[in-house]
Each structure stands twice: as structure tokens, then as C-alpha cells.
Amino acid sequence: MSALPVRPELVGKSPYGAPQVPAQHRLNTNENPHPLPDELLADLGAALGAAALGLNRYPDRDAVALRTDLATYLTRSGTPVTAEQVWAANGSNEILQQLSQAFVGAGRTALGFTPSYSMHPLITEATGGTFVDGHRRADFTIDTGAAVAQVRELRPDVVFVTSPNNPTGTAVALETITALHDATDGMVVVDEAYAEFARAATPSALTLLAGRPRLVVSRTMSKAFGMAGLRLGYLAADPAVVDALQLVRLPYHLSSLTQAAARTALAHTDALLATVDAVKHERDRIVDALPGLGLTSVPSDANFVLFGGFADAPAVWRALLDRGVLVRDVGLPGWLRVTAGTAEETDAFLTALGEVVASAHLGDAVASGDLGG
Ligand SMILES: *Cc1c(COP(=O)(O)O)cnc(C)c1O
């Protein structure tokens, strides 16, 4: 690759890479493991067959019917959202990329609060911008005063806030988001990929959209809806944001098949989201079991748990994989991340983790734990 004339700022960068390692229990990419409902599978077959008849034509470039359905879904949660406020793309990663193309770009800056979603810096840089690392407290919450001070000093064009945050599960208080919005002239993008898993007391930033034209809430069907393979992400914002994205989106970016499949899935929203409570229950089971193993976790509003207390997290990652359980080493010393899924997966994970903790050989890898809050 070094022989090719790639852009100098890309030389030496690593691609996004959740290892796709074969393992009996893959608890590393926050997917929903529950199978799709049979009625949905049947309807998908019919809907895709019908859409196939029109594949000689380009799709609806503006995906109006799909955006209408997405607006209806968001409105269910209590905040009225219109189709003009919604935009959809191939996964929320493409949504984030279009936002970055429109609002960051060459010579401009995005601020995020790490550890957070690794694609925010990668997308910012790939679209020519500079990503600046904000800070979190040792307990992974955002210090609102410090964050506002950074925004005032740096004057970023985009502020990324992930809530609930990946990889920590931490929800961000609405007061923090409004304070950041008030402090900046730039855009505030709240990445809510895990919103459906939030605990009852954790409201969505959708409730803040009215009167805040520079606020964007990004969502996905990859996590709670269990449709990671569909590649469907979307945002809600002021209609002017949707207009701005028309300047950078590729023509006909969302295929007719994707639009048809997503609309069919949304027609089965209740059946798809029926597993969310079960997944939250497994998340809480993991959280509750950890202290008994001498381990700790970060409070989670997502479908995963950042757990730790390890002197050597990579050694524990390997020892779990040796027992058939693949979790994610997110590069935070002392911590690993596990996706909550089925009860069987929780059992397998907790059994394997118990063995690792009990193993004299691995004692040194486990014992540690001053994680500083
Ligand atoms: C998984 C995830 C996404 C999702 O991506 P898709 O492209 O919609 O699959 C976006 N943001 C965060 C924080 C995520 O963890």
C-alpha cells in the first residue's frame, strides 16, 4: 500500500477492525442475537420480490416513504418528528460520514469525548478534518464545565456526543448536550445507536430538537432492531440539516431493496423490539454478577457492559476466547467489553469468566484493580 500515492494523512492509519474471529459465542460487536420473527422473514421475501420487479429503475432518491415510516417510529417515543426532519443512509456510519462531509471537511475540526466510538475520528479524518480528543472523567462521564470550556476554546465545527456511549455504556445527561449546544456555533451530533436499550430514566436527545437547528440525533437499525446486515441508519434534525446533506450524498445512495426491507422491518417494529427488554435483563444480570467475581463494571444504558478490574485485559480476552467466548478488547487498560444477548450467552460468558478468575495461572491477569473510579 505504501507504494500507492494515497493521501499522506491516510498513510499509516489502520482500518476499522472488529476482529471477525470464529468463536462459539460472539459477544464482541453489540448485535442482537435473537432470530428475526418468522412473519417478518415471510414479509421480507414478498417485499423484496416486489421491489425486484422495479430494479431496472433507480430508487426514490429521497426515500420519502421510508423517511415517513422512520418519523412515525420516532414519534412513538413521544417527540413528534416529521419526514422532513429525517434522513436515512446505509448504516449510521454513512449518516456520520455525510454529516462530516457537510459540516467538517478540510481545514475544519470535530471534537469528541473519548473513549468513544472509534469511527468518529476515522470519519472526520477521512473527510479531511481534524479530530480533537475531549476528556472524560475517570468514571467515563463527561464533565460538563470542562467540555464547555473546550468547546469555547477550540470552536469545533462539529461536536460528537455518543449517548449511550460506546464502549462504556455511559448515558450523557441532556443538560450536558444543551450546554454544549449553547456553547458552540457548530453542529452537535448525538450518536444514539443504543437509545432503545437505555434505562427508563435516560431520555433521548430527540426531546431537545425543537428550537435547536444545529442539533442532530443519529440512530440505527443495526442494534436494537437486530438488522445489522440491512445497513440502515438515520437521523432526526431540523429540515435544513437534511437539505444540507443533499449536497454531499451520492445520488440514489439507498437501494430500492434496502428501502423496501427497512420499511418491512419497521412494519414489524413491535415484534423486533420485543427482545429489547430481554437483552436489557441479560445486561443487568452481567452487571449484577461481576462483583461476585471480584470485578467491576461501568453503569450501562446499552446492550453491552464494560467490565474490568484486570491487570492484563488482553490475557483475559485470550483466556475467554480459549473458552469459546469472544468479547472485545477496546484498548482501555484494565477493561473489556461484552455484548449482552441471550440468557445462554450470559451463562456461557459468566461461566467462562468465573473459570478465568479462578484459574491460578491467570491470577496475575485478573488481580488488580484500581481502575480509578
Ligand atoms: C454500532 C454503532 C453505530 C452503527 O453503525 P451502523 O453503521 O448503523 O451499523 C454507530 N454509532 C455507534 C456508537 C455504534 O456503536
**Total domains, the chain:** 2
Alpha helices (H) along 192-246: 239-245
Question: Is residue 326 situated within a structural domain?
Answer: yes
Answer yes or no: do 249 and 290 share one domain.
no
Query: What integer pLDDT is reported at residue 67 of this predicted model?
Result: 98
Please give the model's pTM, rounded to 2 decimal places: 0.94
Confidence of residue 91 (pLDDT cuts 50, 70, 90): very high
Task: Please indicate whether residue 117, judged by its CB atom, sits closer than 6 Å to ligand 1.
Answer: yes
Answer yes or no: do 169 and 302 share one domain.
no
Answer yes or no: do 157 and 281 share one domain.
no
CB atoms within 10 A of CB 41: 12
CB-based contact 326:266 (threshold 8 Å): no
Report which ligand 1 atom has the smallest distance to the Cα of 94: 7
Question: Is residue 8 situated within a structural domain?
Answer: no
Which DSSP string do the residues of 299-331 spell out, in sequence order?
A: --SSSEEEEE--S-HHHHHHHHHHTTEE-B--S
Domain hosting residue 352, numbered range: 15-34+275-368
Q: pLDDT digits over 190-203, tens only? A: 999 999 999 988 89
Answer yes or no: do 67 and 170 share one domain.
yes
Answer yes or no: do 169 and 295 share one domain.
no
Q: What is the CATH number of the domain that holds 46?
A: 3.40.640.10
Is residue 213 pLDDT above 60, yes or no? yes
Question: Is residue 9 situated within a structural domain?
Answer: no
Answer yes or no: do 24 and 44 share one domain.
no
Question: Is residue 4 situated within a structural domain?
Answer: no
Question: Is residue 1 situated within a structural domain?
Answer: no
Q: Which of 220, 231, 301 to mutate to test the pocket of ligand 1 (most atoms within 8 A of CB)?
A: 220
Is residue 109 pLDDT above 90, yes or no? yes
Nearest CA to ligand 1 atom 7: 91
Report which ligand 1 atom has the smallest distance to the Cα of 223: 1
Answer yes or no: do 358 and 332 share one domain.
yes
Average pLDDT for the chain = 94
Helix (H, G, I), strand (E, B) or coil at 60: coil
Query: What integer pLDDT is reported at residue 11 of this predicted model?
Result: 84
Domain boundary pick from 216, 247, 268:
268
Domain boundary pick from 199, 234, 268:
268
Q: What is the CATH number of the domain that holds 19?
A: 3.90.1150.10
Task: Please indicate whether residue 103, judged by its CB atom, sits closer than 6 Å to ligand 1.
Answer: no
What average pLDDT does this structure show over 47-62?
Answer: 97
CB atoms within 10 A of CB 334: 18
Question: Is residue 10 situated within a structural domain?
Answer: no
**Own/partner long-range contacts of 281-284 (Cβ < 8 Å, ≥24 apart):** 282/340, 282/341, 282/342, 282/343, 282/345, 282/346, 283/197, 283/340
Answer yes or no: do 172 and 288 share one domain.
no
Q: pLDDT digits over 154-200, tens only? A: 999 999 999 999 999 999 999 999 999 999 999 999 999 999 999 98
Answer yes or no: do 287 and 351 share one domain.
yes
Answer yes or no: do 64 and 133 share one domain.
yes
Answer yes or no: do 314 and 244 share one domain.
no
Question: Is residue 203 situated within a structural domain?
Answer: yes
60 CB burial (10 A radius; 0-12, 13-18, 19+): middle
CA 231–ligand 1 middle distance (angstroms): 10
Answer yes or no: do 152 and 185 share one domain.
yes
Domain boundary pick from 268, 297, 328:
268
Question: Is residue 59 situated within a structural domain?
Answer: yes
Which DSSP string do the residues of 269-286 spell out, in sequence order?
A: HHHHHTTHHHHHHHHHHH
Confidence of residue 361 (pLDDT cuts 50, 70, 90): low
Confidence of residue 371 (pLDDT cuts 50, 70, 90): very low
